[in-house]
Chain A
Amino acid sequence: MNKKVLGLVPLAIFILLSVFLYQGLFGNPREIQTGRLGHTMPAFSLPDLMDEQTTWTDKDLQGDVYLLNVWGTWCPTCLAELGYLTELKDKGVKIVGLYYDQAYDPDFGDKFDVVALREEVNNMLGRAGNPYAFNILDLNRSLALDLGVSGAPETFLVDKAGKILVHHTGDMNTRVWRTKFAPAIQELTL
C-alpha cells in the first residue's frame, strides 16, 4: 500500500507541473509589475499640450480621483481606445491625457512643431472622441519615465491623495475596466 502511494508521487509532480506550465501559456507577458504602484504621483511641472502658457504640476491634480491616460497620435491602439474612454468620460470619469511623443529626439536634430502636433491631435480627437479634461505635454518623456511608462497606451488610476492604484499597460476596454479599474474605484468610495 505504502509503495503504491509512493509510486504515484512522480505522477502527482507531473500533473502539478503540467498545470503550472499550462497556465503559463495564457499569461500576459506584457503584464509586468511596476514599481510605482501604491506610491504617489511623482512631482512634475509640464506645459499643457494645447496652450504652452498653462503649466500643470502634480499639485494641480490632487483632490480628484482620475485616470491618467498615456497616449500619442502615432499609436493605433490609442486611437482604438478613444471611443471607450469617451464613454467613460460621459459617465463622469475624469481623464487626464499625458501626451507621449515618440518621435521627438533632439539627438537626431528633430525640431518639434507644436502647431502641427496640435492640429494632428485636434484631428484625431475630433474624429474618435475627446475624453480628456486636458492634456499634459511630456515632450522629453520625463514624467513618463518617472511613472514607469514603457510605451503607449498605458492608463493609471490615481486617488484624491495622488496615490497610484492601478497601472494598466495596453488598451482600455469594457473588460479591463470591469476587472481592474471598477473594483479599485469601488474600494475608494467605500
Chain B
Amino acid sequence: MKKLIFCFGLLISAINAYAIEDKYHFDSVEREQTFKELTHELRCPKCQNQNIADSDAVVAKDLRDKVLTLVHEGKSKDEVIDYMIDRYGYFVHYQPPVTPLTILLWVLPGLIVALGFGFIVVRQRKSAQVQPWTDADETKLAALIAKYEQREQQ
C-alpha cells in the first residue's frame, strides 16, 4: 500500500513537472531550447543549490518568467545570463567566471598532481642509481660479518 501511494505521488509530481513545461509557448524550437538551457544553468538565489527550473521559490518563478520574456524578445543566451548577473551577481550562474581567484581553483589541482608526480620521479631516479661496490665496502662488509659471527658464538 505504501509503495502504491509512493508511486502515485511520483506520478503526480511528474504530471506537475510537465504542466510547468507546457505553460510556455515558443515561436521556434531554438528559443525553446535556449529557455530550457538557461533555466537549467541559472541558479536560484534563494534556495542555494537548485536551478531555477527546479525550484518552487517565488524568486525562481520570477526569474523563469523574466528569462521567458527576454527569450521572447530575441535575447541571446549570453545576454540573458549577463542580465541576471547584473542583478544577482555571479552566484546566479552555475558556471563561474574566470577571475584571478577562480583561476587558482583550476590551476591548483593540476599543480599538485604535477608536483607529486615530479616527487615520485625524483625518488625513483635516486633509488635506481647504480652504486659502485668498492674495496672499502668489501672490507667493511667482512668486518661486519666477523663481528656478527663473534656474537653468535658467545
A binding-site residues for B, Cβ under 8 Å: 29, 32-36, 102, 105, 107, 141, 144-151
Contact = CB atoms under 8 A, between A and B. Distances in A.
Contact of B88 (A29, A102, A107, A150): A150
Contact of A35 (B57, B62, B85): B85
Contacts of B85: 35
Given A150-B45, A150-B46, A151-B57, A33 B90 contact: yes
Contacts of B91: 32-33
A103 to B, nearest CB: 9
A147 B87 contact: yes
B88 A148 contact: yes
A148 B84 CA distance: 8
Interface of B, secondary structure class, is helix
A169 to B, nearest CB: 9
Contact of B63 (A102, A145, A147): A145
Interface of B: 23, 44-46, 48, 57-59, 61-63, 66, 85-92
Nearest to A148: B87
Contacts, number: 48
B11 to A, nearest CB: 22
B115 to A, nearest CB: 10
A38 B105 CA distance: 27
16 contacts: A32-B89, A33-B89, A33-B90, A33-B91, A34-B87, A35-B85, A36-B86, A141-B58, A145-B59, A145-B62, A145-B63, A145-B87, A148-B45, A149-B59, A150-B45, A151-B46
Contacts of B62: 141, 144-145
A8 to B, nearest CB: 15
A151 B57 CA distance: 9
Nearest to A33: B89
A34 B59 contact: no
A39 to B, nearest CB: 8
A141 B58 CA distance: 10
Contact of A34 (B61, B63, B88): B88
B87 A36 contact: yes
Rank and list the top 6 A-B pairs by shortest CB-CB distance, nearest first: A150-B45, A33-B89, A148-B87, A150-B46, A32-B91, A35-B89
Given A35-B85, A141-B59, A148-B88, 5 more contacts: A29-B48, A32-B91, A33-B90, A34-B89, A147-B87
A36 B147 CA distance: 83
Most chain B CB within 10 A, of A35, A105, A147, A151, is at A35
B59 A150 contact: yes
